């Protein structure tokens, strides 16, 4: 009998110990490290505890429900009594849901969220009643859904689990947006700066070249998007050039070249007129020689000497005009793409002249021929000949200074010089002048790298 009592006592003590161990395990708090997009509502569903219990244990503001990614939270253990109460409440809710279930036809603009708010229920309950997937959101007009609850009179958002989830998610999203804003680079504006209004056909590269700055400095001083907008105002830090002054200097140089050309033309015309006058004088003297043969024979050496001197004088007077004729200077340094592009841009503003190949007027192939000839490259006079001046490459592989062609090989109709980015310089068409174009509006067919 005593032996049996001892066994019973040992069994009772063991069961009590097991119960205490189980209770200790159930009551022991656990921890959770907040991941991106975690909310208090998510944690309450994951660990089977209430939102209020988590917030009270971790001193979380019960109005904002704010938690931060990387934060370590304590999660209270499930309480047996609470679990039982929850089961009872769920059973009651389920019974009430069954009693209040009705059908509703989806209208245009309806969503699971709006229907849940309208019938004072949750999105999860609508999914459960209608056999929808846990991540389903899409419904269509004409669908018939089962709902539980009654229509809200004021249609104010009810304090259901779904709004709590959205309220707890919103601070995290706001925090991420704040972090992204903090990571945005601060704009740098120097004391010595100016502004520039973007014109049609301009690019960051062409603007940087015009002001003698780098593209990176333009980006650091301006909040730029993917493309430049016509009329957009850019800040230029520490400009090394003044495009207005350079344009005025270029115009003055062009006017001087035009004046020099006019003077040379006048000199040539005067020499031609003088030569014509000498020839007319010689023709007038010829009849006199026929009337006096003897006198002519005696004076012939003197007249011949005088005519020779006059001819030599005319030639000497005409010679300076020939020397003064403009000749293109050819540089001896190797052709560099950036040097070719810079030299081509020096003719911006030169008028378009059909068949023109001098600074007084260019057509498209005349400009490219003149620029490359400056660097000792003979590429031909028209676009067809210039196609064969080098290696054909795709436009995407073009380098600064390469030729850009429009049209199919063998029948191209336009040529330009590539400046980098989306920009090129060309003599476009009659009535216009040499200017910078944008490939976004006029895409070339192929490119040629001059050998």
Higher pLDDT, 94 or 37: 37
Least confident of 295-304, 348-357, 414-423: 295-304
Arithmetic mean of pLDDT over the chain = 76
C-alpha to C-alpha distance for 335 and 147, rounded to whole angstroms: 79
Q: With cut-offs at 50, 70 and 90, classify the pLDDT of residue 165.
A: very low
C-alpha to C-alpha distance for 437 and 425, rounded to whole angstroms: 6
Q: With cut-offs at 50, 70 and 90, classify the pLDDT of residue 88.
A: low
Q: 76 near 40, Cβ under 8 Å?
A: no
Q: With cut-offs at 50, 70 and 90, classify the pLDDT of residue 366.
A: very high
C-alpha to C-alpha distance for 45 and 40, rounded to whole angstroms: 9
Q: With cut-offs at 50, 70 and 90, classify the pLDDT of residue 149.
A: low
Q: What is the arithmetic mean of pLDDT over 301-325?
A: 47
Q: What is the arithmetic mean of pLDDT over 98-116?
A: 82
Higher pLDDT, 357 or 262: 357
| pLDDT value, residue 304 | 52
Least confident of 29-38, 89-98, 366-375, 398-407: 89-98
Model confidence at 325: pLDDT above 50: no
Contacts of 241 (CB under 8 A, 6+ apart): 210, 211, 212
Q: With cut-offs at 50, 70 and 90, classify the pLDDT of residue 140.
A: confident
Number of residues that this document lists for the chain: 451
Higher pLDDT, 120 or 415: 415
Q: 163 near 157, Cβ under 8 Å?
A: yes
């Amino acid at each position: 009998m005593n032996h049996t009592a001892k066994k019973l006592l040992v069994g009772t003590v063991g069961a009590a110990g097991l119960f205490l161990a189980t209770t200790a395990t159930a009551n022991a708090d656990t921890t959770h490290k907040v991941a991106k997009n975690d909310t208090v509502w998510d944690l309450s569903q994951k660990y089977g505890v209430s939102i209020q219990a988590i917030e009270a244990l971790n001193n979380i503001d019960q109005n904002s429900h704010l938690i931060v990614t990387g934060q370590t939270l304590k999660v209270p253990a499930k309480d047996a009594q609470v679990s039982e109460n929850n089961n009872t409440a769920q059973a009651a809710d389920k019974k009430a849901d069954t009693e209040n279930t009705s059908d509703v036809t989806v209208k245009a603009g309806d969503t699971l969220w709006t229907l849940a708010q309208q019938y004072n229920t949750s999105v999860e309950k609508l999914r459960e009643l209608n056999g929808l997937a846990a991540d389903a959101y899409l419904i269509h007009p004409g669908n018939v859904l089962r709902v539980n609850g009654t229509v809200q009179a004021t249609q104010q958002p009810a304090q259901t689990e779904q709004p709590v989830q959205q309220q707890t998610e919103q601070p995290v999203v706001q925090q991420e947006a704040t972090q992204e804003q903090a990571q945005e680079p601060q704009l740098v504006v120097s004391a010595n700066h100016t502004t520039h209004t973007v014109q049609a056909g301009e690019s960051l590269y062409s603007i940087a070249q015009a002001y003698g700055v780098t593209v990176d400095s333009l980006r650091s001083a301006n909040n730029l998007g993917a493309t430049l907008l016509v009329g957009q105002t850019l800040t230029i830090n520490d400009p090394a050039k003044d495009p207005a002054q350079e344009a005025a200097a270029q115009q003055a140089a062009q006017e001087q070249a035009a004046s020099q050309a006019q003077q040379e033309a006048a000199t040539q015309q005067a020499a031609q007129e003088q030569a014509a006058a000498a020839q007319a004088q010689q023709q007038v003297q010829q009849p006199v020689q026929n009337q006096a043969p003897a006198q002519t024979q005696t004076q012939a050496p003197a007249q011949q000497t005088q005519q020779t001197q006059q001819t030599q004088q005319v030639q000497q007077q005409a010679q300076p005009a020939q020397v003064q004729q403009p000749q293109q200077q050819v540089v001896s340094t190797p052709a560099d793409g950036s040097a070719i592009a810079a030299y081509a841009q020096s003719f911006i503003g030169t008028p378009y002249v059909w068949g023109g190949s001098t600074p007084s007027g260019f057509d498209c192939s005349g400009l490219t021929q003149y620029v490359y000839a400056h660097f000792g490259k003979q590429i031909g006079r028209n676009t067809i000949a210039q196609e064969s001046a080098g290696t054909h490459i795709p436009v995407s592989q073009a380098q600064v200074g390469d030729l850009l062609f429009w049209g199919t090989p063998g029948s191209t109709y336009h040529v330009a010089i590539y400046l980098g980015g989306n920009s090129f310089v060309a003599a476009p068409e009659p009535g216009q002048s040499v200017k910078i174009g944008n490939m976004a509006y006029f895409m070339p067919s192929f490119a040629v790298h001059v050998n």
